[in-house]
Chain A
Amino acid sequence: MTSERQLVVLAVNGTEHELLLEPRQILSDVLRHELGLTGTHVGCEHGVCGACTVLVDGEPVRSCLVFAVQAEDAEVRTVESLGEGAELTDLQQAFRAHHGLQCGFCTAGFLMLAEGFLLQEPDAGRDEVREAVSANLCRCTGYQNIVDAVADTAARRRGSPGSSTQEAAP
């Protein structure tokens, strides 16, 4: 049943928003429908698919598993914070170059997951990237190109591009 609304201050992408919210409203809904930040998508609402992944104080978080009120006093970053205007970041460009998206519904979740992961694990190789990427679901790509895009970005940020793909050998 409806409960009393609370005044909540959310810091999202560097801007503070004062919002009157029900305690039961989840962060993904508030980002999307109260703040109009519809780049964050909702795929399962039970914390498995990862389409709703955002950064909360730099950590990748399922925004469908967090009540918006829990995000008070934290810095929330969504896909809309990537890039300047029409300019894509290196990570976004790598997704494009490697065809790491098809329908694009899961993409924001993978971008924010990767953004958080690469900040924490800048030295990650392709296997570690694959392990990290396995946190989220994509139904279109078969993941290979997503792994390539993230591993390529990691390598480029370390200054050693082009060593991303891996050949299987017996």
Chain B
Amino acid sequence: MSGEPARDARFDGGRGRWVGASVPRREDPRLLSGRGRFVDDVHLTGMLHAGFVRATVAHAHLTGVDLEATRAVPGVVAAFDAADLDLGDVVALLDRPPEEFTPTTMPVLARDKIRFVGEPVAVVVARDPYAVEDGIEATVVSTDPLPAVVSEQTALAADAPAVHDEAPGNVLLDVTMFDTPGVDEAFAAAAADGIVVDLVTHSARQNALPLETRGVVAAWDDHDDQLHVQICTQVPHQVRTVIAHSMRVPERTVRVTVPDMGGGFGQKCVVGREEIAVAALARRLDAPVKWIEDRREALTAGFLAREQRYRSRAAFDTDGHITALDVDIACDMGAYSCYPFTAGIEPLMAAAEMPSVYRVPAYRVRARALTTNKAPSAPYRGVSRPQYVLAIERVMEHAARLLDLDPVEIRRRNVITEFPWTGINAVTYDPGSYLESLELAETIMRDEGWTALRERALGEGRFVGIGYCCFSERTGYGSEAFAKRKMQVVPGFDISEIRMDTTGAVVVTSGTMNHGQSHETTLAQIVAEKLGIDIAQVKLRQGDTERIAYGWGTFASRSATIGGSAVSLAAGRLGELLCRIAAHLLETRPENVALDGEGGVVQLDDPTQRISFADIADVAYLRAHLLPKEVEPTLSATASFDVPGDGTFSNATHAAVVELDPGTGRVEFLRYACVEDCGVVIHPQVVEGQARGGIAQGIAGALYEQVTYADNGEPSAASFIDYLVPTATEVPDISVDHLETPCATTENGAKGAGEGGTIGAPATVLNAVNDALRHTGVELDDTPVHPQTVLAALDDAATSREEATA
């Protein structure tokens, strides 16, 4: 069971000349000198500005929109309500029976009904953004209010008003995904000889909060016979589809391009209604139109996530082995289903993967998506995994305490160690380093003296705790894995095209979409490595529906795994073509040449015979008569890649040491360690950056951020004064250790690295806080943990201690 942590498996860089090296990021010079081009930096001649009149009540019949005064405001050019614009609704569907899934639609502008505060009701277009605000202020909206549905309790109450008439019970998805044999028997056995953990965990609604809000500039182009939509989105092709559908125009007449993007974290991987309206306005008004979401809109009316409740029951034998898991999950998805994922995104992810890194022999789960009068939900970095990992990790902690086992030991006894492992959830897990990461994290805590401090602190009257979280993250969901979700559109593959120009430089396309992940560098590293050329000779193209045949964009940690594999395959094919031409020019057999790693092809039996890519390119384009007969005069190749089976799992263990301040209730980090395994690391510095940034967002969810509402559905965290985003003084330094279990199914051995940090941090922090409170009898199972919660726990403990000694 135990053993030395696999320190020798730590990644030490140096895999290749490019892959494995922290090369300087190629996107940095422009971003550092203010020469990036974000969507709000786009300025077109004659450009108009749009803004939205938004609902101020959470639930109501919409009885009138009066735009007369709006249109009279100086500077205002036009104003429209839903009837004026007459756009098709956004519809996201699952291929599931009616008892499991209730389809609903999201209008571009609210038509008859208002379903959340902030819902767009009308749009105002003016010559400048200041006049837009004047126009919005002049608009009169009449409503007939209904009681608001703002919680699981109010949504599921017998007399609850329906948010959507199609879903009278306010449930959009209700699935019992697993009910394997032996669940009840295991609980009966555990009740007799073992333990049963029964606990409820909540996580608050959160905003993914890219620092750049959403935005769009749309303009009709007569030359191209196209509407050009410049937008910050993670999924340009899906935006094109929905805009074309909603405007009822051929998809060919819409071109979507993406400039530099200031983060997304999932919020921008769904299609927003405002962007569709602006596209339609550009056509209607025959002028370029821009809309930039302001922060208040982003906080109240943007896509949100994470408001979930788990009731987890788990049976354990006396040795601490889990014998059954029975879970009920409710996700508050807000007012609408997002495209393309639907309101099933969170409950389906949670139910499918809840057993996590543990060998669970019997499993039952019911998961529901509730609809409420709140801004709708979208995927947010980690999608349900921060929540189900929190639930299962709290289960482990409770069980460890009941059985008087060390928290690491109970995990050691349950964690999957044999691979591939097909779990009770019918998911096959590819090889990872679950146990190794756990033990390395434990070693770090022990060797650095934190374990000793934890023991010592109590005697000094200090509240110091250590928390662990061991988890995996499915990355690179291919078509096969996504098909199991039963979405009507099934994401998965990626396509790459590579072209070499007359000088030997290449341009490579990817259907993924960089928004901070460093694709311009990392995907170029893969190509440079594969072809044996300098990275300066590689240029990446993304985010243009005219240039990229099709793409699913970037989400679910798919870019390095799927996008990286596609560019690698395309580069490999181009390499083969180069070799074929070179063999002909060198007058030798094709088997007798190979890429030389220095931008050329070498003859194997006589290395003095070499021809550079530039010389091959010169022949391919400018002296095509020299080409072999069977080769056409172009240097390009295309490849697609799809991950087979259930995808590939990254994994990690986090360990945090916290100290609670008995005066303020503040949770202070003394140490945060991340041991992660994302397979072959393409760029260590980038992977570490993803881990740290992800952990910061997980800490935000654990201790600070919470989207709150009054009982009438009015948002009460509409600015950064109330929505508390952690700063440099709340987020600690984080060490990152790499283990490396190469992925067998991706071209480069890489697994995804984008979400893991966010997934592991909430459970790590909550476990550490509880460990610091271990002598008080208090158990906290909800996030965020506010200072007042910690203070109350410490006060309770002090009171009961006094009572005990009195």
Contact = CB atoms under 8 A, between A and B. Distances in A.
B649 interface: no
A170 B131 contact: no
Given A39-B35, A104-B36, A170-B452, A137 B727 contact: yes
A22 interface: yes
* Size band of the interface chain B makes with A: 35 or more
A10 interface: no
Contacts of A48: 719-721
Contacts of B27: 104
A2 B728 contact: no
Given A46-B719, A144-B692, A170 B210 contact: no
A42 B40 CA distance: 9
Contacts of A106: 211, 262
Given A41-B38, A51-B211, A139-B697, A103 B32 contact: no
Interface in A87-117: 88, 92, 95-97, 99, 101-108, 111
A1 B295 CA distance: 22
Given A41-B212, A78-B34, A140 B263 contact: yes
Contacts of A32: 40-41
Interface stretch (A68-76, A128-136, A152-160): A128-136
Nearest to A112: B34
B153 interface: no
Nearest to A85: B33
* Size band of the interface chain A makes with B: 35 or more
B686 A99 contact: yes
A17 B186 CA distance: 78
Interface in A14-46: 22, 24-25, 29, 32-33, 36-46
Contact of B727 (A2, A40, A86, A134): A134
B725 interface: yes
Interface stretch (B142-150, B193-201, B515-523, B565-573): B515-523
Contacts of B209: 139
B43 interface: yes
Given A1-B134, A83-B33, A106-B211, A170 B670 contact: yes
Given A82-B33, A102-B689, A105-B38, A2 B130 contact: yes
Contacts of A165: 733
A40 B25 CA distance: 21
A49 interface: yes
Given A142-B693, A143-B728, A101 B32 contact: yes
B641 to A, nearest CB: 25
A168 B671 CA distance: 6
B28 A142 contact: no
Most chain A beta-carbon neighbours within 10 Å: one of B210, B265, B516 = B516
A78 B35 CA distance: 12
A169 B449 contact: yes
A130 B729 contact: yes
B261 interface: yes
Contacts of A39: 33-36
Contacts of B695: 142
A140 B693 contact: yes
B696 interface: yes
Interface of B: 22, 24-25, 27-29, 31-38, 40-41, 43, 73-75, 129-131, 134, 209-213, 260-263, 265, 294-295, 448-450, 452-453, 515-518, 657, 670-671, 685-686, 688-689, 692-697, 719-721, 725, 727-734, 757
Interface of A: 1-2, 22, 24-25, 29, 32-33, 36-46, 48-49, 51, 78-80, 82-83, 86, 88, 92, 95-97, 99, 101-108, 111, 130-131, 133-147, 165-166, 168-170
In the A-B complex, list the 3 residue pairs whose CB atoms are closest, starting with the nearest.
A39-B34, A105-B262, A104-B31
Given A86-B29, A140-B689, A141-B693, 10 more contacts: A38-B38, A43-B212, A80-B34, A103-B211, A106-B262, A134-B727, A140-B263, A141-B696, A168-B732, A169-B449
27 contacts: A2-B134, A29-B129, A39-B35, A42-B40, A43-B213, A43-B295, A44-B295, A49-B211, A49-B295, A92-B33, A96-B29, A96-B32, A99-B685, A99-B689, A101-B32, A102-B517, A103-B261, A107-B31, A107-B32, A108-B34, A140-B263, A140-B693, A141-B693, A143-B727, A145-B689, A147-B733, A169-B448
